[in-house]
Amino acid sequence: MSVSHELVKRVATKTRVEQVESINYMSVSIDTRSLQSGALYIPIVGERFDGHQFLAQAIEAGAKAAIWQGDVPVPKDLPDSFQLYFVQDTLTTLQELAKQYRAEVNPSVIAVTGSNGKTTVKDMLSSILTFAGPTYKTQGNFNNHIGLPLTILGMPKDCQYLILEMGMSGYGEIHLLSMLSLPNAAVITNIGESHMEQLGSREGIAKAKAEIRDGLVEAGTLYIDGDEPLLATLTEDTVCSVGFSQSSDRQISEVHANAEGFHFTLHGVGQLVIPLLGRHNVKNAALAASLAAGLGLSYDQIQAGLKQVKISSMRLERSKGSRGELMINDAYNASPTSMVASLEALKDITGFSKYVAVLGDMYELGEQEKALHEQMAPHITTPITHLLTVGQKGKWISESVAQSDKTSNISLLHAATVEEATDLLAPLLSEETVVLLKASRGLKLEKIINDLLVSEKGEMNK
C-alpha cells in the first residue's frame, strides 16, 4: 500500500509541518509493537488506553508521521520536523481515511458476513479471484470498526478485488462497515445463534446481518443462503439465493463425498470439486462460486480457485497425531449451527474404528444456552463411538446424550478443563482413531493437540 500526504491532509483540519514535497506512507498502524518503518501512526483512544501516550515509541519504531487528536497536548520534546495531522477524532478519521483510499484504488469490493462460514467463504473467494487479478483480503480477524479500515488501508495500489470480512455483535455495526466500504457484491453465509445474548433471537441476528445491503453500490448483488427462511424476505432483484432447495436461484445438487472432499453440481456454473471436509463447505463453495460467476469469472477460473483453496487454521484442519490418529481441529469458534456441521463432517469420514467427538462450551448464546447445548444430543450418533465434553457448559451436552435411548453404544466422558480432557483422550488414540475438536474460542480447545505432543515426548524421554 501507499497512502499519500495529500490524501491524509484531506481528512485533517490542519498540519503541524508545512509539507514542501509530497511524501508517501508505506503502511498505517495503530499499534507501536507491530509498526513498520515509514508508517503513518494513528493513536486510538480506548476505554483503558490512549494511543497518544505511545507516540515516542512509534517514532522510535520508524513512524514518519501521526494523526493527532486536536484536544490532546502535543509533546514538548517532539522533533520540529515530525509531521502531525490534526483531527477531531482519530477513530473516525481512520475510518474516513480508509473510505478515501478505497475510492482512490477503486477495486471491486466484496463484503462477507454470516454467523458461520464467513472466513471460509472469504478464503475461497480470495483463491478464486486471484485468477482474475491482484486480490487482497481481511487478514486474521480484522473485521470490526477498527480492523476493517486497517484492512482497506493495507491493500496494494494495484488491487482489483478487495474481500472484506464483516463481524458484528449488535445492531448498526454491519451498517457502519458496509457504508464505509461500499461493496460491489456481498454475501450472507447463514444465520446461526452467535450473539443471541446481544440480539435476543435468530430473527434479530438476521436483521443485523442484512445491514450489509446498506452500502451496496447500485446494481451490486447480495448472495444469500437460499435454505434459510429468515433470509427469504430479501427478495429484491439484486439478491441471488444459493442453496439446496429448488426455489434457490442457484441450486446445489448431486452432492457426493469422498476421502478428499466433495464434488457437486451448481446450477448455472457446472460440476465443482472441493478438497475440504464438511458438507456445509459445499454451500460455502457454492456461495463463493456464484459470486465469482456474477463478477464474470469463468468456470475454469472458479474450479481452479476452489481446487487450491487454503482455509484459515482451526477450521476442519486435518493433521496426523503422534500415534497415527487423524485430528480434525475445528476449534476456532463454535455455535450450535457450526457444531452440528462439524459433527456431520466427522460422520462423513470413513475408514476408522473409533470416532471421538471432543465438544466444549459455546458462548454468547443468552438465556437459551442450556437448551441449545442440549440440542446437540440428537446429532451425536453412529459412527461416533466416544463423546468427550469439556467445560461447565459442555457438560450439558453429555448429560443430554446420557438421557437419550439412541446413544447407548457411545462412551461418555467429561472433563472440567482442557488439561483433564487431554488425559482422558490420550488412551483412545491410535491409527484407528479420528478426533474432532469443537468449542468456542475462549476455551482454546486446540491446546489438546499441543499437550498431547508434549505428553508423547515426555513418555519417550522416560
DSSP 223-261: EEETT-GGGTT---TTEEEEESSTTSSEEEEEEEEETTE
DSSP 55-89: HHHHHHHT--EEEEETTSPPPTTS-TT-EEEEES-
Q: What angle do CA 322, 326, 332 make, to 5 degrees?
A: 100
Distance in angstroms (rounded) separating the CA atoms of residues 54 and 144: 23
Distance in angstroms (rounded) separating the CA atoms of residues 401 and 378: 8
What Å distances lie between residue 304 and 51, 136, 143, 250, CA to CA? 44, 18, 27, 20
Would strands 3-4 and 24-25 be described as parallel, antiparallel, or unpaired?
Answer: antiparallel
User: Which run of H or of E encompasses 122?
Assistant: helix 118-129
Which candidate, 310, 313, 3, places its Cα nearest to that of 152?
Answer: 3
Q: Which residue has the cell 446429532?
A: 379
Task: Name the CA dihedral angle for 208, 210, 215, 218, rounded to a multiple of 10 degrees.
Answer: -170
DSSP 8-state assignment for residue 398 = H
Written as nine digits, the cell of 38 is 515509514
**Which residues define the annotated binding site for ATP?**
114-120
Written as nine digits, the cell of 167 is 463481524
Q: How many CB atoms lie within 10 A of CB 311?
A: 20
Instruction: Provide the β-strand partners of residue 68.
Output: 86
Which candidate, 416, 352, 417, 409, places its Cα nearest to that of 380?
Answer: 409
Question: How far is C-alpha 28 from the chain's CA centre?
Answer: 22
User: Which run of H or of E encompasses 197?
Assistant: helix 196-199
Amino acid at 219: A
Written as nine digits, the cell of 83 is 509531521
**Which residues define the annotated binding site?**
114-120
